[in-house]
Chains A and B, each alone.
Chain A
Amino acid sequence: MSDVVEKTLTALPGLLSLDSLPGSNKLSSSSKLGNLIRGITELTSKHEEEKLIQRELTSIKEQVSSPNTSMRQMKELMVRAIYCEMLGYEASFSYIHAIKLAQQGTALEKRVGYLAVSLFLNESHELLLLLVNTVLKDLQSTNLIEVCMALTVVSQMFPKDMIPAILPLVEEKLNHPKEIIRRKAVLALYKFYLIAPNQVQHIHNKFRKALCDKDPGVMTASLHIYLQLIEENPEGYKDLTTSFVTILKQVVGGKLPMDFNYHSVPAPWLQIQLLRILCLLGKNDQSTSEIMYEVLDESLRRAEINHNITYAILFECVKCIYTIHPKSELLEKAAKCIGNFVLSPKINLKYLGLKALTYVVQQDPKLALQHQMTIIECLDHPDLIIKRETLELLFRITNAQNVTVIVDKMLEFLRINKDDYTTIDLVGKVAELAEKYPLIHVFLSFGGPLLPENGKKIVKYTSHITTLLYMLK
């Protein structure tokens, strides 16, 4: 009797320990999942791993099909099934049970069920139809968390044909008092717009309301839709330019709550979305561009802190300035910015600088000349990616004087490059250049070291070589 009491007493602290952080619940490490994971890490060969997982999957399969399995156990089984699928083993027998779990489970069980569905299925999967009823039910639930879960899944995948059934429910959530629900509803509508644009034609004015929402999160969500709409039809939204400019001004000026700061930069992703939108609206349109000059100038000035995120904003800003109707002061500042990138010792910035140069070189060839020493250095950079980017840039500034050198460098690169896509792309460029400026020695190089390793490459190379041969005759 006494040792039972002793056992209980020693076990009590462990069982009753309350972790102050809800996330660091370490109970999972002793669960069946924990055991499975530990089991796998102890194995040494792929073959053994396969055996263990297959055993696991058979056991899971038995248990999911049994009518005695509770929802709580089902949840645990689903987590293990997700894990097995992640390792590359097929567990499609569990898909239907994931849907059932989302339907019948409560709270965490439902959550895991929805998670499993979002990981197992995709838009075109036939089982997704079975989820629709569950989602419809949860959207009308009084429990807000369930509504959130339903909206989250809907914004990831939903069968196109069932949109009309769910659209009114989602629409009504746009007016919900809670901002998180409004935000998720906007994103669900964004998803609907992407998969079936004509189904959401009639609610464009509701998007406008979301754009003016007092919560910045909801407003940001609506920008995704606007970016898409404006990409397809910039003319239709020119009237919104002043609104976007005003929002950007407010953000850059620090008018948003402190929460939205990321490393003391106000809402960077929001800034970038707005810059992209403005870029599309101002293209080839002087009057619209004029509205945005001031705020672009302001953004350039503010983003001077030394952090990756400000460089990201600067990059978008520069792209925008070069796309819209030109203004010399802004162009000058942007050019200086690109210069700083290219000269930066940080390799990621160098890469972006080169990319930016490639983008602007048509409009401003002098800029590339200004930095030609750095560009030449980059040609011999140990990192292949930088080399590749430099060659892209050089391709755009070839003229009769430098073409031989550039083509030679490209051929040199082709010899060490291993990636098929790049090779085909570069070979195409070389052929193009060889066509513009007849280069006999290119053909000779082609015959030599570029011996292809497999049939596909041979076909591509021969087509280029025959083109060359034809021109040189």
Chain B
Amino acid sequence: MRFMLLFSRQGKLRLQKWYTATAERDKKKMVRELMQMVLARKPKMCSFLEWRDLKIVYKRYASLYFCCAIEEQDNELITLEVIHRFVELLDKYFGSVCELDIIFNFEKAYFILDEFLMGGEIQDTSKKSVLKAIEQADLLQEEDESPRSVLEEMGLA
């Protein structure tokens, strides 16, 4: 996979992960072009696009568009399922995920993405093990945070 983008219907970027080294201004240009193209598609149309020398696979979940760019020889249908798998993982992790969850906790969305799409290749691991890995890291963080007394939180001590 070359890159994955998540953006809203209004054209606001929510997540971007690039699996190849690309210059900043190229990235911006590509993102802009792609968003225009995908947002112009009507609902009954094919989920696959051809753009430059890449294939674009996209799917809309509520107000968010998930968009992946894959190479010529990759299988489009499987990429559609990769997107679906990612959404399933987010849903399990956040509990009925909505766009706001992804917006305000985007670093967590990135952690999940990295765990299951490492280096751009999908890891066919069980859903449980991906979420377990993330949860273990989460727990580690909670153990580490030193407990602050309630009064301190309120600024009274």
B91-113 CB contacts (< 8 Å) to partner A: 93-95, 100-101, 103-108, 110-111
* A348 with B118: CB separation less than 8 A: no
Q: Quick check: B136 and A267 within 8 Å, CB to CB?
A: no
From A59-67, A116-124, A445-453, give the one contacting chain B: A116-124
- Given A86-B15, A308-B80, A316-B75, also A190-B124 (CB < 8 A): no
With beta carbons under 8 angstroms apart, the residue of B17, B46, B121 that contacts A351 is B46
Binary contact readout A433-456 vs B (1 if CB under 8 angstroms, 0 otherwise): 000000000000000000000000
- A86-B118 CB under 8 A given contacts A22-B135, A24-B94, A269-B124: no
A-B contact count (CB 8 A): 194
A463 at the interface (CB under 8 A from B): no
| A183 in contact with B150 given A37-B104, A106-B144 (CB within 8 Å) | no
Q: How far is the CA of A221 from the CA of B121 in the complex (A)?
A: 9
Across the interface, which residues of B come within 8 angstroms of A155, CB to CB? 118-119
Closest residue of chain A to B23 (Cβ to Cβ) is A122
Which chain A positions have C-beta within 8 A of B50?
Answer: 385, 388, 421-422
Residues in chain B near residue A422, CB distance under 8 A: 50
With A23-B94, A220-B123, A269-B124 known to touch, is A29 a contact of B52 (CB < 8 Å)?
no
In the complex, whether B87 has a CB less than 8 A from a CB of chain A is no
The residue in chain A whose Cβ has the minimal distance to the Cβ of B44 is A347
Residue A237 at the B interface, CB < 8 A? no
Are A115 and B111 in touch, CB under 8 angstroms? yes
B141 near A107: Cβ-Cβ < 8 Å: yes
Nearest residue (CB) in A for B80 is A308
Chain A, residues 237-266, CB within 8 Å of chain B (1/0): the string is: 000000000000000000001011010000
Choose the segment among A6-14, A130-138, A162-170, A464-472 that binds chain B (4+ C-beta atoms closer than 8 Å). Answer: A6-14
Instruction: Name the one of B75, B121, B128 contacting A259, with C-beta atoms under 8 angstroms.
Output: B128
Whether A393 is near chain B, meaning CB under 8 Å from some CB there, is: no
Q: Count of chain A residues with Cβ under 8 Å from any Cβ of B?
A: 84
| B-side interface mostly | helix
A419 in contact with B123 (CB, 8 Å): no
In the bound complex, what is the Cα–Cα distance between A28 and B104 (angstroms)? 6
Bitwise, B45-69 to A at CB < 8 A (1) or not (0) is 1111111110000000000000000
CB pair B101–A24 under 8 Å, yes or no, is yes
Contact of B77 among A224, A267, A315 (CB under 8 A): A315
B111:A111 contact, CB within 8 angstroms: yes
**Of the residues B22, B119, B125, B129, contact of A191 by C-beta under 8 Å:** B119
With A7-B154, A23-B134, A118-B114 already in contact, 17 other A-B pairs whose C-beta atoms are closer than 8 Å: A16-B150, A28-B105, A37-B104, A82-B106, A86-B13, A87-B13, A88-B13, A123-B21, A149-B137, A155-B118, A157-B21, A268-B124, A269-B124, A312-B77, A312-B81, A348-B48, A385-B49
CB-nearest residue of chain B to A75: B107
CA distance A351 to B123 in the complex (A): 26
Let me know if B85 and A262 touch, CB within 8 A: yes
A414 interfacial contact with B, CB 8 Å? no
How far, in angstroms, from A382 to B14 measured CA to CA in the complex? 31
Contact A383 B151 (CB under 8 A): no
A7, A23, A184: the one within 8 Å of B138 (CB): A23
Question: Pick the contact of B129 from A90, A180, A308 — CB < 8 Å?
Answer: A180
Can you give 26 contacting A-B residue pairs, CB < 8 Å? Answer: A11-B150, A21-B94, A23-B95, A29-B104, A33-B104, A79-B107, A86-B15, A86-B106, A108-B137, A108-B138, A111-B111, A111-B137, A112-B107, A122-B18, A123-B21, A143-B140, A145-B140, A190-B121, A217-B129, A259-B127, A259-B128, A267-B124, A268-B124, A269-B123, A348-B80, A385-B46
